[in-house]
Amino acid sequence: MPKVNTKLVAWEEVVEWCRKLAEVIEGSGWRPDIIVAIARGGYVPARLLCDFLDIHDLISIQILHWGKAAEITAKAHVKYPYTIDLSEKRVLLVDDIVDTGDSIIVAKEYIENHWKPQEIRVAAMQWISPVAKIKPDYFVDEVKEWIWYQYPWTRAEDTTNFFEKIVSEKKKEGKVEWTFEELVKEFKSWYGIDVGEAYYKLSFNRLLKTGVLKKKCGCKNTYIAV
């Protein structure tokens, strides 16, 4: 059994979800003038919605919130605050997933107060209803049991963070020596997904670059948790 409930998401699924999301929005009879993507998770869905809804105005707002490997570290806040006039516009605020809802709440409040749109609505592919503090106006899946969606645009980042988590947890149990193959095996068993060799290599190299692991002297394939 995996230790973390994780779903590996394929690019094709994202396209399909966004196509469905566009249908839901269109079906509601409401049409936005402009889409605001929440960076960074909302970028790809927002761009696809522009295509499916034939919207040409797309901007972004960056919200910082989540820390490493699915752990909350900081309060959500606008990273680069700026002001524009959207008083004539109907705004669609887009994110990949509504989990706690904090990013959406902070972005929505900021836009309402500083950009003063005519109206603002929220769309996301997934809505984790038991934990979310806000329900998006438009969504594709209501998720009833918390799960980490491993979206294709965070594959390297998540794999690296998940590797790091494994190394630090195992270190507490006294395991400090690793081979690449061992770590990959552990990853598959903890998360129940397989992201593929290229991502494992890239992420393993990141651990070496950031000093989480270092090569064991005189041993070709053995690494030490620092």
Which residues form the interface with ligand ADP (CB under 6 A)? 41, 65-66, 76, 95-104, 132, 148-149
Please, which residue, 129 or 179, has the CB nearer to ligand ADP?
129
Please, which residue, 193 or 213, has the CB nearer to ligand ADP?
193
Could you give the CA distance from residue 221 to residue 181 in angstroms, rounded to a whole number? 9
Contact 26, 53 (CB under 8 A): yes
Q: How far is the CB of 72 from ligand ADP (least distance, A)?
A: 8
Q: How far is the CB of 60 from ligand ADP (least distance, A)?
A: 13
Sequence-distant (6+) residues with CB within 8 A of 33 are: 55, 57, 88, 89, 90, 91
Q: How far is the CB of 176 from ligand ADP (least distance, A)?
A: 30
The residue number with the shortest CB distance to ligand ADP is: 41
Alpha-carbon distance values, 165 to 63, 171, 198 (Å) = 24, 10, 19
Could you give the CA distance from residue 55 to residue 52 in angstroms, rounded to a whole number? 8
Please, which residue, 98 or 140, has the CB nearer to ligand ADP?
98
Please, which residue, 91 or 98, has the CB nearer to ligand ADP?
98
Q: How far is the CB of 152 from ligand ADP (least distance, A)?
A: 11
Nearest CA to 169 among 156, 187, 155?
A: 187
